[in-house]
Amino acid sequence: MVSVQRRRGQRAKVWRTSEVVDNRGNRVIVADPTAPIEVRAAFIPQRSARAEVPGQQQINVTRMIVDAQTEGVSLWSRVEYAGRQWDVVSPPAYHHGDRRTRHWAIDIRERP
């Protein structure tokens, strides 16, 4: 049984990463566009800054808490939540506990 926030949480799509060969023959890691996974997650706002002057960039960072079963998410993954696209900004942190409380904490930043 997972925690209430993750079981009844908000829906999001997560694109896992895969390794591909680019047109120069280099192996690169990218968000796999073919198979997004649907997850339920708790979202906790971390920090934000409004763009008040032209040329500044708005920053909106949120922590996404997902089930420990979610695998294949890394810095190159992509998230779609609340109708917007988000990038993973720090390596996902695994928090081990009993079956109900173990989870991944993933910090995501809204794409400009």
- Residue where the block lists tokens 């949480």: 9
Helix (H/G/I), strand (E/B), else coil: 7: helix
Contact status, residue 109 vs residue 60, Cβ threshold 8 Å: yes
Contact status, residue 100 vs residue 2, Cβ threshold 8 Å: yes
* 94 vs 2: which has the higher pLDDT: 94
Domain made up of 4-110: CATH architecture: Beta Barrel (2.40)
Query: Is pLDDT at 68 greater than 90 in this prediction?
Result: no
Question: What are φ and ψ of residue 81, in 5° steps?
Answer: -145, 135
Per-residue pLDDT tens over the stretch 21-65: 999 999 999 888 888 999 999 999 887 766 666 666 677 899 999
Structure tokens given for 48: 């934000």
Per-residue pLDDT tens over the stretch 84-108: 999 999 899 989 888 888 899 999 9
What's residue 32's pLDDT?
A: 87
What's residue 51's pLDDT?
A: 62
Structure tokens given for 106: 């993933």
- Give the predicted TM-score (pTM) of the model: 0.77
